[in-house]
Chain A
């Protein structure tokens, strides 16, 4: 038997069987992210697949209500739209879930609130505030993250009007949204801004260097591979991507000081591009003395829980998210 050298990167981590089957079925129809030219087509595919039926149904039955607000953007920048969902029955101030949507920094919309998050709103009686930040490459860094931060500041300044509890604002996001949530949390700490009670990062996009073992292993397979990741980061940072001068507010993995951050939840798939940067971020949070929890799900490619929600590993992922949120809100 030959053994690999200690530092050698092995073959790709195998996908979970159910996830592999679901991916096989839709693989040819997923948007391709190969360079900036591919972005308009990918945006169309994602917008065409936007499903608001779960929210529409809950609004019709009167369970949830939707409110849209246009608020001032960062200094010198356009206004920002906030998309706000809350339980109609909420009496007193509710916890707030401040949401930065995903989409590789280059696509997606604040209205893309998944069924899972609507279930949280109902289960925990939360108000969900989703921010329509500007996208790259039209808006490079720091535009997108400054929009996210401005929306957070406005939210924290309008807790009475929104009927939310200022001590229970959770910043959350998935993929690029996870990276933006982490960056917004760093900004809030450094600028002595709003108090963030927790950051909740699902398969977060944290590191523009794009050179971890998990990124290299998964090149050419899965949903958001190393090349797609290169496209997203290049859209946001241009030629600065991967260089020495990238801000931690663009790529939170660049932060040199993670002390003083709020309780953190991180999850990620073991067979995806972001595995190693998510694991590294959690390790560094613990090292900095932060209360953090990390789950790495075997056989998961990027966004598996959205692509194959019926799979056992997707259900376990949702269950563990709810379990952490339950513990957090019951504190």
Chain B
């Protein structure tokens, strides 16, 4: 039976195998798959039998590439690729006799171990540190081309593979092969998504993703706006993010919005809705309020701020103030990448 990677390659020749393998294990974990499913995945993705030795649970199993469970191998060849938890208790071994033929083995073993550790409730024991290191190298603008190419190879990518980088606060860079996949990987988290570029230019996509992240909002009443921002959509605002000096004095419009928002909790969501919709009626629909309420709020907001927030010029002024306010907030709370 043809192994799964060959099947995937036939269906998806331009897909990055490493990202697909990672997606496979992530999906298994998300669906609460059991340990045997994970071992089977390791075998199917690598095309060779996979062994699990769990010394904490006294469990061992062996599954061949076609998914069949077999008696455990009597002896484990020390040259076979493997991944082991930090405490050495859980181990996954792929029966590859010529390991140099398949550089995905290390990744598959690490990911399988992480999924198994998750399934048995010990995820911290199996963090795939090396992979994060490779990811960080790929997006590091200061890495030499040689280092970056090695890291790319480790991830099963070529310098020409098209990727985009997702920035999430407090998380490692996430690579995706298309914007749709990037959105999916971001999930419900606040995220900036860089442009799709050849992997060789991933540092630029990463930089833009961080800049886009500064333009995101919580999406709540207190912090209205988009939770996910695409660098592709942000235009000149990215330039603003990258050139606004941290700690710089903010314009009066921003200070005014912040000051008045403290005593008028309806202000920010009203400004966001009015400035991003064609009419007061549309803004009311977006807010789920009656248009006369929004009409009244918009008049009050215009009085408070000192500009008409409903005409075209006023909308631009509001949008710019909100954007600079977000950037300022982001600079206070987000450490810059690396």
Contact = CB atoms under 8 A, between A and B. Distances in A.
B40 A28 contact: no
Nearest to A31: B11
A22 B27 CA distance: 9
Nearest to A306: B7
Nearest to B64: A310
A89 to B, nearest CB: 23
Given A22-B24, A310-B44, A28 B12 contact: yes
A250 to B, nearest CB: 30
B37 A29 contact: no
A310 B65 contact: yes
A308 B37 CA distance: 12
A311 interface: yes
Nearest to B184: A24
B23 interface: yes
Given A17-B33, A115-B1, A315-B68, A25 B23 contact: yes
B65 A30 contact: no
A48 B12 CA distance: 11
B12 A29 contact: yes
Contacts of B237: none
24 contacts: A17-B27, A17-B33, A17-B37, A18-B33, A18-B37, A18-B40, A20-B27, A20-B31, A21-B23, A21-B28, A21-B41, A24-B27, A28-B12, A28-B180, A49-B11, A51-B10, A310-B1, A310-B65, A310-B66, A310-B67, A311-B37, A312-B36, A312-B37, A312-B67
Contacts of B210: none
Interface of B: 1-4, 7-8, 10-12, 15, 20-21, 23-25, 27-28, 31-34, 36-37, 40-41, 43-44, 65-68, 178, 180-181
A309 B1 contact: yes
A18 B28 contact: yes
Given A22-B4, A25-B20, A310 B40 contact: yes
Interface of A: 14-15, 17-18, 20-22, 24-26, 28-30, 45, 48-49, 51, 53, 115, 307-312, 314-315
A102 B178 CA distance: 31
Nearest to B178: A28
Contacts of A20: 27-28, 31
Given A20-B27, A26-B8, A309-B1, 13 more contacts: A15-B31, A17-B37, A18-B28, A21-B25, A22-B24, A25-B27, A28-B178, A28-B180, A51-B10, A308-B4, A310-B3, A310-B4, A311-B40
B28 A29 contact: no
Contacts of B66: 309-310
Contacts of B7: 26, 307
**B4, B21, B25 pick with most chain A CB within 10 angstroms:** B4
B1 A312 contact: no
A28 B3 CA distance: 19
Contact of B28 (A17, A30, A309, A312): A17
A21 B31 contact: yes
B1 A26 contact: no
A131 B316 CA distance: 67
B2 A51 contact: yes
B183 to A, nearest CB: 13
A53 B66 CA distance: 16
B43 A26 contact: no
Contacts of A21: 23-25, 27-28, 31, 33, 41
B31 A17 contact: yes
A24 B181 CA distance: 10
A26 B12 contact: yes
A311 B25 CA distance: 13
Contacts of B34: 17
A236 B43 CA distance: 41
Contact of A18 (B8, B11, B41): B41
The 8 closest A-B pairs by CB, nearest first: A310-B67, A17-B31, A17-B33, A29-B12, A21-B27, A310-B44, A24-B27, A29-B11
**B11, B37, B44 pick with most chain A CB within 10 angstroms:** B11
B67 A314 contact: yes
A214 B37 CA distance: 26
A310 B68 CA distance: 8
Nearest to A53: B2
A116 B154 CA distance: 35
A112 to B, nearest CB: 14
A26 B36 CA distance: 22
A45 B23 CA distance: 22
A167 to B, nearest CB: 33
A323 B178 CA distance: 44
B4 to A, nearest CB: 6
A296 B178 CA distance: 36
Nearest to B25: A21
A243 to B, nearest CB: 36
A194 B10 CA distance: 40
**A49, A309, A310, A315 pick with most chain B CB within 10 angstroms:** A310
A314 B37 CA distance: 12
A301 B7 CA distance: 18
B67 A315 contact: yes
**B27, B41, B66, B181 pick with most chain A CB within 10 angstroms:** B27
A271 to B, nearest CB: 12
A16 to B, nearest CB: 8
Contacts of A14: 31
A48 B67 CA distance: 25
